[in-house]
Homo-oligomer: A and B are copies of this chain.
Amino acid sequence: MEAQSTGARRGPKPKPDVRDNLLRAGVELFHARGYTATGIKDIVAAAHVPKGSFYNYFDNKETFGTEVIDFFFERRLPKIQALLSNPDAPPLERLRHYFELRIDGSRASGYVRGCLLGNFSLEVADQSPLMRERLAVHFRTWSQLLETCIEEARRTGALTTPLPPSVLARFILNSWEGALLRMRAEKSDRPLNEFMTVVFGTVLV
């Protein structure tokens, strides 16, 4: 998943929205600046709520971080599911199309931000078992969707590799995270394009 502006809504909102506004601001700021560089005061300012309100909804920055991770992934999940289980396209084409759309998104955003799950994996995983656990859960869900496509490709004879679909799915997702990481340092789509070349030219054959 790449950069996507989720900018917090402006102006006063009824109560039920405050929580969502805070989470939306969290996604936006953690994605743009990182977890450590973003303070709770930045979050409440971006969400246009008084600082005290934050603690009505969240215990501390770490529990807020875990909810931001969930909020980010769960809002993207339906689209990933729809793309990867589209019955009108063969499984390898679905996979290819999914990554092509992600590459288009990265190009459109100027190769910044990358994937929030990947960023958190590097920035907070050593310090926070709580956030680490949420990252692991979502990476698992995500790679299982890839795995289902790969299994289907194998069942239909589109894929002949003897490696287990689960191993291939996790490898592809991890490689994708690495390609996004390198995209951000190179500010170019080359790492993403080469990911496509090698994955669809040698791994998924």
**How many of these chains are in the complex?**
2
| Interface 1/0 per residue, A174-205 and B, CB below 8 Å | 11111101101111001100110110011101
- Chain B CB within 8 A of A119 CB: yes
Cα A5 to Cα B49 with chains together (Å): 43
Contacts of A167 in B (CB 8 A): 194, 197-198
Q: What's the minimum C-beta distance from A57 to chain B, rounded to whole angstroms? A: 25
- For the complex of A and B, the 4 pairs showing the least CB-CB separation, nearest first, are A178-B178, A175-B175, A121-B185, A177-B178
Of B136, B181, B194, B197, the contact of A122 (CB 8 Å cutoff): B181
Q: Which one of A20-28, A71-79, A110-118 is at the B interface?
A: A110-118
B118:A122 contact, CB within 8 angstroms? yes
- Output the residue of A171, A186, A203 with the most chain B CB within 10 A: A171
